[in-house]
Structure 1
Amino acid sequence: MHVLQTLFQLAFGSIVAARGLQVHDSSFVPDAVLVITEGAPKQPCVPAKNILLVNGTSPGPELRFKEGQTIWIRVHNDVHNQNLTIHWHGLTQAAAPFSDGTPAASQWPIPPNHYFDYELAVPQGVAGTYFYHSHVGLQAISCTGPLVIEDYRHPPYRYDDEKHIFLTEVFPNTEEEIEEALLAVPMAYEKDQSMILINGKAGGTDNGVLCNESLPVINVQRGKKYRFRIIAGTGLSFDIFAIEGHDGFDVIEADGAYTEKLHTSFMQVAPGQRFSVLFQALHNPAKNYYYLQLENREFGDVTRTYAIINYGDPAPGLFEPTPNPPPPKSSITEFYPPSTPPLVLPPMDYHFLEYQLRPYRKGKHLAKSERMPTAKEVTRRVNITVQLTGPPDGEFVYLENNYTWNEDFPKKPYLVTLYENDVSQFPSMERAIANDGLDPVTRTYPMQIGEVIEVVIQNSGSTGGGMESHPWHFHGAHVFDMGAGDGIYDCNANEKKWAAQKGKPVKRDTVMLYRYEHPQVPTGHLAGWRTVRLRITEPGVWMVHCHILPHMIWGMQTVFVMGSYSDVITADRPDVEGYLNYGGSVMGNATHEPEVVSFFTAWADNQK
């Protein structure tokens, strides 16, 4: 893991002077402040242990901004022995590539007792549901929180209020212990999540063992319509949930893009995915509260957790503003898991919402930038074949086109080397075309401005014969989800399938590469694909990776380099100032005033 060196700071400081860029000093006031510390709070269902906290909690506080703004967020690393970054998951940082928060790709990680000023240039048209998390090691397990981009004017759907369903996990060991064991030779960690948290709380069962903790509460009022913002901030589990006594949800947003309304009786989310759904509260509920029941799929033993949909007296909870005035203490009820599950949830649905969603149409037509590229428009296909090597006795390594990638591979972050005029680190298109799109020297995928790329991610059998599912997350640009299937991708067959469906490809940033029903397949056998298309319009250096955290640290990640060398190092990028601040002001004492953290209380006032 990289540590910022004084020589690098001085060298990069000379670039600041050469370009005449202003460095943020002590007079600069950011729009928001996140202070990352380490502590051992009581977590549901696991013994107390050290985790990362954001402004004193995990998950951290909600951040909420309007589209069309440029925001500066100062992130303090007050963890004495760990580097970290913050990634703004789902926001395409094309106008601020240094602020994407990816170590070894866009920035050096923030060393202890230093801070970094992140720029979020949020254009109009990206209103939706996001979250933030560290992108170093397994820190995203606890160092995370919700991020909402509000509509500049009004959302296209009417509702009375909105609520979070923010999913995270707790594990029996610390993140550092898990990472060390996962990277050991032979691999030495076989445990899964102890519980899946909903808005930071949980109670339920793990492999049949009861965890009788107080449940999270989502307060609703009779007859009102709610927007539930569902955020899968998980790092391992695929989760399915439904609500007893209610007929389901209407999906209206997927990964920060509005969709045409689509009804579903249950929701299924994979790590990194987000949805907004409309939830109709009952006009005449038969009782004061109902259970939201959630279960994991795919990995590990069955973990079942619950939340409360509360029609009675309001009860406080994370991401729920305290009622004003608060009800008497005697009326605030603690809720606990039921003795038997009220629902029977379905098995993993390998076709959930596929070929059914449609992008939301503003008027009669989609904006040109929102139109899916046709097969005739595609200028090049990039194939990414993934395979797990090493088990059962060796090191676990994931390969993409026979090459792996991790934080230690590049000696400097790619974007830094390019700004230092190190042309040797820029990928070769010639080498890439000869290797299914991957340049094996830099281990990156180069793409030129103006290209229309079809990316086919192909699953294959591991050296042990197993198969797993993978949520692939794209930084830098949302992609058109062209669907998925078992076996090997056939473009003509997939085009015919779309022609026969009611749905149309929607833009996503986290898409599923499934294993389907393959517990064992021959080594290298191709079984399962996911295809996306994207127009290359903005230069940058962007991570693309599986959002299952163990898979990511085992190497299931790579980098897309969009644009030519001159495109990428354009000097007038507005965020360069903020990045070069990292080589300047952070060399001083990174102290901060505690009262600035009170910024985060403002969001609660807006919800009253």
Structure 2
Amino acid sequence: MRLFHSFAVSFQVLSYIFAAGAFARLAQHGARFEPDYILRATAKNITSDCESHYAVVLNGTSPGPPIYLREGWTTWIRVYNDIPDQNLTVHWHGLAMRSAPFSDGTALVAQWPVSTDNFFDYEIHPEIGDAGTYFYHSHVGFQAISAAGPLIVEECGPPPYQYDENIVLQIGDYYNKSNHEIEEGLQANPFKWSGEVNALLVNGHSGKKSLSAAPDPSCAPLVIKVKPSTTYRLRVIGGTAISLVKMGIEGHSNLTLIEADGYYSKPFETDHIQVASGQRFSAIFKTKSAAELKELNRTSFFVRYENRERPGSASGYAILAYDVEGAELPQTLPATSPVKLPKETYNWVESALQPYNASFIPFPRKSTRTVIIQMNQVGNLVNGTWKSKLEWAQNGLPWKESTPQIPYLVDIYKRGQAAIPDYKAAVAGEGYDPKTAVFPAKLGEVIDIVWQSNSGASGSYDFHPLHGHGPHVWDLGSGNGTYNATEMEQRLEGFEPMRRDTTMLYRYLEKGAPRTTLGYRVWRVRVDDPGIWMMHCHILQHMIMGMQSVWSFGDAADILERFPRPYVSGYLEFGGDAYGNSTFDPVVNKYFPDNAKEKAATCRNWDGGSRKANKLYHYR
């Protein structure tokens, strides 16, 4: 029945497009179509920290395989959902603006999820200037803790900084609990916390046991092989569920930051990396010479990583191992860490990074509107214990995957302007339309979004790595206390903010007076990209508890113009024609240009680049 129905719908749509003279924009991905990458989601028992647990994985491993994209190229990634009892989407973190409509991977926001035994073809097209470090992950429930992998966008031409090779490290968390158990507890009445992480993972290794004592590689240190006198680009990806992590390399404090969240920065010297969930940083460093190694009588050095701002501590080691004759790996771990990492988190490269090329996308010096969003916990606290559901709210509004019954973007295509949030009601109230639970913005606005931390009924504060889908924001900075617009403008004089997609709302105090605002982060957003975008804390627990917001950029006419009918028919129903399975070839809109002409024009000499250099991504 599905095959017959889908074929009929597709035939009608194809006929319409052909008559309109735009046939090339619609395609049926049949037997001749070959995606550039395939990700296959399954749920199975895997080993982490030398313990077996049930997890969602992509292509059988966690992290999933590295994906390499190229500036100016269109890439198709087919995602199969082979999980027997869960829906799935995949989000291309930091590249929301470069994915086709319905391809951002936000379930019930930009697309219907992919159901069991179905697949979806995602279309992504990084533009010139997007070269950098990203990652992909599921955007359903708690799946992203294990269903994630690195994504690198490479330049068409020479990068602004010279280096010889890459080292890609994806930081993760491990809980010896199922996703279902954690999700149920977070949404239970009364609320049940997930507990603290069992281990930090670097490319799947916890590094809690020595090479000689580890019964399985998953709890042994990751071994990162390097050559002497070589310049490496260290790409660190914050793929954790909750952990804020500091990392340093013994004897190698010569780190130069050159990138944050996919944008090159002016060089900035640091002795360690700090990364939270959703963030990415690149640092270049030069390894020691053969003469230096001989003088030190060493060929390996420990990489130390530790979490911060949590009641439970987690830490581990990796090993930077020089690939030289006679080298031996250490078989024991240090009794005391040889790397001293600072305790403070709120001052690491804060207001220090500036864009490598500020004129590429000029910073708007003035805003037209300010939206202040207070974030705090909501629930029934009795004698220090939550006796109800516990939610995170933005100006009193928690948002969860169950909030909408139909994806917002789909609803706009079905109902037009009637589905757009009420702008006047939002501006007069708390920034969002109470009927749709969406924050509206008009094209042409320049909005300052002020995220403020409030202690709520418990008097407790937390940190929040805030992530924006859609266009990168200008990160104006953060501060203790409450936000002062005049003071912020003074701080910005002579300073060029970085464009970012994930920055920190820090915790300056662990506990204080109840219902007190203390700490802020400010973003400036130029509203010129119509669409439905999410802005949320990237801590998975907080997302499930409601710390997410949905934004509508533009009116219905602005949004529908990006992807006009009838090209969208297959995307508007759950399991529609844009979703394929073993008996049906999906009908997709080819939103971006084909590569044939662009390859010749912009990436003539590129032969696959790092696709041939997966050895640079050190993981088990």
TM range (shorter): 0.7 to 0.9
The letter for the 2-side match of 1:431 is A
- 1:72 aligned to which of 53, 72, 76: 76
Matches within 5 A, 1:131-146: 131-146=135-150
| SS across alignment from 2:613 | helix
Matches within 5 A, 1:291-302: 291-302=302-313
- Name the structure 1 match of 2:554: 563
**Structure 1 residue 155, shift from structure 2 partner:** 0.6
Contact 2:299 2:321 (C-alpha < 8 Å) held by counterparts? yes
- 1:389 aligned to which of 371, 375, 378: 378
- 1:224 aligned to which of 208, 227, 230: 230
- CA distance change for structure 1 residues 436 and 415 in 2, over 3 Å: closer, same or farther? same
Gaps of 5+ in 2: 18-25, 586-607
| SS across alignment from 2:47 | coil
**Structure 1 residue 180, shift from structure 2 partner:** 1.1
- Name the structure 1 match of 2:412: 418
Contact 2:120 2:580 (C-alpha < 8 Å) held by counterparts? no
2:33 matches 1:28: yes
User: For the residues of structure 2 that align with 1:106 and 1:278, how far apart are their CA atoms?
Assistant: 36
- 1:366 aligned to which of 359, 379, 392: 359
User: For the residues of structure 1 that align with 2:215 and 2:190, how far apart are their CA atoms?
Assistant: 32
2:272 matches 1:266: yes
2:472 matches 1:510: no
Q: 1:557-576: CA deviations, max 9, x gaps?
A: 01111111111112646995
The letter for the 2-side match of 1:389 is V
Q: 1:525-581: CA deviations, max 9, x gaps?
A: 111110010211111101110000000000000111111111111264699588479
- 1:589 aligned to which of 558, 582, 585: 582
Matches within 5 A, 1:543-562: 543-562=534-553
2:443 matches 1:449: yes
Identity of aligned residues (%): 38
Contact 2:570 2:578 (C-alpha < 8 Å) held by counterparts? no
Contact 2:570 2:579 (C-alpha < 8 Å) held by counterparts? no
User: For the residues of structure 2 that align with 1:514 and 1:333, how far apart are their CA atoms?
Assistant: 38
Contact 1:215 1:336 (C-alpha < 8 Å) held by counterparts? no
Gaps of 5+ in 1: 315-329, 593-598
Matches within 5 A, 1:155-304: 155-204=159-208, 213-283=219-289, 284-285=292-293, 286=296, 287-304=298-315
- Name the structure 2 match of 1:346: 342
| SS across alignment from 1:569 | helix
User: For the residues of structure 1 that align with 2:42 and 2:584, how far apart are their CA atoms?
Assistant: 13
User: For the residues of structure 1 that align with 2:419 and 2:75, how far apart are their CA atoms?
Assistant: 31
| SS across alignment from 1:49 | strand
**Structure 1 residue 165, shift from structure 2 partner:** 1.5
User: For the residues of structure 1 that align with 2:428 and 2:46, how far apart are their CA atoms?
Assistant: 52
Contact 1:99 1:119 (C-alpha < 8 Å) held by counterparts? yes
TM-score, length basis structure 1? 0.87
User: For the residues of structure 2 that align with 1:588 and 1:483, how far apart are their CA atoms?
Assistant: 46
- Name the structure 2 match of 1:405: 399
**Structure 1 residue 517, shift from structure 2 partner:** 2.0
Contact 1:104 1:410 (C-alpha < 8 Å) held by counterparts? yes
Q: Which runs of 4+ in 1 moved over 6 A?
A: 5-15
User: For the residues of structure 1 that align with 2:234 and 2:5, how far apart are their CA atoms?
Assistant: 45
User: For the residues of structure 1 that align with 2:91 and 2:134, how far apart are their CA atoms?
Assistant: 11
Contact 2:374 2:453 (C-alpha < 8 Å) held by counterparts? yes
User: For the residues of structure 1 that align with 2:558 and 2:314, how far apart are their CA atoms?
Assistant: 48
Contact 2:182 2:194 (C-alpha < 8 Å) held by counterparts? no
Moved more, 471-480 or 210-219: 210-219
**Structure 1 residue 26, shift from structure 2 partner:** 3.4
- Name the structure 2 match of 1:98: 102
**Structure 1 residue 181, shift from structure 2 partner:** 1.5
Matches within 5 A, 1:327-342: 333=329, 336-342=332-338
User: For the residues of structure 1 that align with 2:9 and 2:548, how far apart are their CA atoms?
Assistant: 27
Contact 1:470 1:547 (C-alpha < 8 Å) held by counterparts? yes
Aligned length: 568
- CA distance change for structure 1 residues 335 and 225 in 2, over 3 Å: closer, same or farther? farther
- CA distance change for structure 1 residues 382 and 9 in 2, over 3 Å: closer, same or farther? farther
2:521 matches 1:530: yes
- CA distance change for structure 1 residues 578 and 249 in 2, over 3 Å: closer, same or farther? farther
2:79 matches 1:62: no
**Structure 1 residue 600, shift from structure 2 partner:** 12
User: For the residues of structure 2 that align with 1:415 and 1:229, how far apart are their CA atoms?
Assistant: 34
Contact 2:163 2:231 (C-alpha < 8 Å) held by counterparts? yes
User: For the residues of structure 2 that align with 1:305 and 1:44, how far apart are their CA atoms?
Assistant: 11
User: For the residues of structure 2 that align with 1:282 and 1:478, how far apart are their CA atoms?
Assistant: 37
Contact 2:66 2:151 (C-alpha < 8 Å) held by counterparts? yes
- Name the structure 2 match of 1:459: 453
Q: 1:496-537: CA deviations, max 9, x gaps?
A: 2233x7x531000001111212422322x1111100102111
User: For the residues of structure 2 that align with 1:414 and 1:14, how far apart are their CA atoms?
Assistant: 27
- CA distance change for structure 1 residues 16 and 511 in 2, over 3 Å: closer, same or farther? farther
Contact 1:159 1:226 (C-alpha < 8 Å) held by counterparts? yes
- Name the structure 1 match of 2:603: none
- 1:483 aligned to which of 446, 469, 477: 477
- Name the structure 2 match of 1:321: none
The letter for the 2-side match of 1:253 is E
**Structure 1 residue 18, shift from structure 2 partner:** 8.6
Aligned-residue CA RMSD (Å): 2.9
- 2:367 aligned to which of 365, 378, 392: 378
Q: 1:431-484: CA deviations, max 9, x gaps?
A: 111124211111111111111111111111122111101011000110000011
The letter for the 1-side match of 2:576 is G
**Structure 1 residue 603, shift from structure 2 partner:** 3.8
The letter for the 2-side match of 1:470 is H
- Name the structure 2 match of 1:357: 353
- 1:311 aligned to which of 315, 318, 322: 322
The letter for the 2-side match of 1:385 is Q
